[in-house]
Amino acid sequence: MSLVPRATPFTRARQRQVVKVGQVSLGGDLPVAVQSMTNTDTADIDSTAQQIIELAEAGSELVRITVNNDAAAAAVPFIKERLEIKNVRVPIVGDFHFNGHRLLSDNPACAEALDKYRINPGNVGRGAKKDIQFSEMIEVACRYDKPVRIGVNWGSLDQTLLAKLLDQNSALEQPLELNRIMQDAVIQSALESAAMAESVGMARDRIILSCKTSHVQDLITIYRRLAAECDYALHLGLTEAG
């Protein structure tokens, strides 16, 4: 099965970092690669492996799975094993939330088997725990040389950051519209999180950024701004899309 991203008219307009995810390279001047996500219980090894195979056969070049508990984390190496038996080499992305730091630490076989981690800065922890738990996940990624997607979602924004930007906006003589503040918040969350990941030891060419919203026009505006402010590889997608 070929994992070379197929040619598309949507080549990148600006030179970006190239990130290797398994056998697939993203960013730079490469064509867009398509990622999909399973809707199975990841702990169900047979169903999850079968759906990944079906997605890969349909053209998906990367597949994301949820890793939401210990049973799911324990299943990941066996899912990869099933795929290898079938000679399916599609990279597997682990989607983590509040307990991701613990799952990665407690399940090293999972941490090693995954090809990329997806981390949402808005739900890695609250208060003082947020930065600590985010850093712990980045440390694991560095240990196993795994790239990460720092995936900001405007439905789960860091409330502390959002409150700060709203307060700053209310103090202006001519406050900006709320929609602009939301755009600022998702971009700032992504860039600050990427800077923190680098401070922990992650290389720029191991970081992918995404800033998802539910509205196409907002998404276009956000990504144009994000592309102008950084050279990280970018992941594009609508939230609440499926």
Tens of pLDDT, residues 137-147 = 999 999 999 99
The crossing angle, in degrees rounded to 10, of helices 178-200 and 216-229 is 40
Q: What is d(CA 157, CA 223) in angstroms, rounded to the nearest whole number?
A: 17
| Token digits of residue 132 | 């600590």
Q: Are 24 and 33 in contact (CB under 8 A)?
A: yes
Tokens of 174: 């001519």
135 pLDDT band, cuts 50/70/90, is very high
List b or e across 71-81, with b for residues whose CB sees 16 or more CB atoms inside 10 angstroms: ebbbbbbebbe
- Average pLDDT for 54-74: 98
Q: Angle at CA 99, nearest 5°, toward 159 and 61?
A: 95
Q: Is 8 domain-assigned?
A: no
Examine the pLDDT at 104 and tell me if it is beyond 80.
yes
Q: How many structural domains comprise the chain? A: 1
Helices 128-143 + 178-200 axis angle, to 10: 50
pLDDT digits (tens, 9 = 90+) for 167-208: 999 999 999 999 999 999 999 999 999 999 999 999 999 999
Q: Which of 2, 5, 1, 52 is nearest to 25 (CA)?
A: 5
Return the number of other C-beta atoms located less than 10 Å from residue 23's C-beta.
Answer: 13
Q: Show Cβ contacts of residue 100 under 8 Å, excluding neighbours closer than 6 positions.
A: 67, 117, 119, 124, 133, 137
Residue 10 lies in a domain: no
Is 127 a member of any domain?
yes
Give the amino acid at 144: Y
pLDDT at 11: 42
Query: How far is Cα 12 from Cα 138, in angstroms, rounded to an integer?
Result: 27
The partner residues of 36 in beta bridges, in order of sequence, read 63
Q: Does residue 241 form part of some domain?
A: no
- Tell me whether residue 185 is in a domain: yes
Average pLDDT, the chain: 92
Q: Is residue 4 assigned to a domain?
A: no
Tokens, residue 34: 């398509």
Contact status, residue 67 vs residue 76, Cβ threshold 8 Å: yes
pTM over 0.95: no
pLDDT for 13-50, tens place per residue? 557 999 999 999 999 999 999 999 999 999 999 999 99
What whole-number percentage of the chain has pLDDT above 90?
A: 82
CATH of the domain at 129: 3.20.20.20
* 239 assigned to some structural domain: no
End-to-end CA distance of the chain: 26
Range of the structural domain that residue 205 is part of: 18-234
Q: Is residue 87 in some structural domain?
A: yes
